[in-house]
Amino acid sequence: MLNIIICGAPGCGKGTQSDLIVGKYNLKHLSTGDLLRKEIAEKSELGITAESYISKGNLVPDEMIINILSKNIEAFDNDINGMILDGFPRTVAQAEALQTMLSNSGKEISTLLDLSVEKDELIDRLLKRGQTSGRSDDNLETIQKRLEVYELQTAPVSDFYKKLGKYAAVDGMGSVEEIFGRIASILDSKK
């Protein structure tokens, strides 16, 4: 089983690379952002609460994220080779909760892929995406807040996985294909 976490600052290409990884390795893609946007679109109680955090550039509380993710991990098909988590864990507390949740079901994380992209490039990518995505969080003020929150709260997750020997830095600059080539060589060594 190949259970991967893909992380990096907003705009680093997690979603794009996740799609390529899913296609090549037959993994289930679990994006907390997509799961939350689905809840928001359905105007569920969880979605309404989550939107109040997201629209201000803040992280949704751990308990809400863990509950929605747990439901989706339990719904795994047996014909897949593992999963890729995109957008989770974002805090050390979430990483610890994930470890517990997975070990209770006999699973573990294989590696954390950390995509690094220069800050100016991240802002450019997100502003361009905002012109076509319709996402309320792709404006300059919210982008800067999201990058700040990422540095403060999410970056320590990398240290957590470094201590476990399950961390891989990936240069996120260059073409989609170049970046995927770097990722594939890391994942092929984990099989």
Binding-site positions for ATP:
11-16, 129, 174
- Residue 145 one-letter amino acid: K
Token output for 76: 């795994």
- CA distance linking residue 77 with residue 167, whole number of Å: 26
Residue with tokens 């550039």: 57
- CA distance linking residue 172 with residue 118, whole number of Å: 9
Instruction: Write down the number of H helices and E strands in the chain.
Output: 9, 5
Residues within the annotated binding site for AMP? 32, 37, 58-60, 87-90, 94, 135, 146
Catalytic residue among 28, 129, 166, 182: 129
Catalytic residue among 38, 135, 166, 182: 135
- CA distance linking residue 13 with residue 38, whole number of Å: 20
DSSP H or E segment with residue 19: helix 14-25
162 catalytic residue (yes or no): no
125 catalytic residue (yes or no): no
Q: Which residue numbers are catalytic?
A: 14, 90, 129, 135, 146
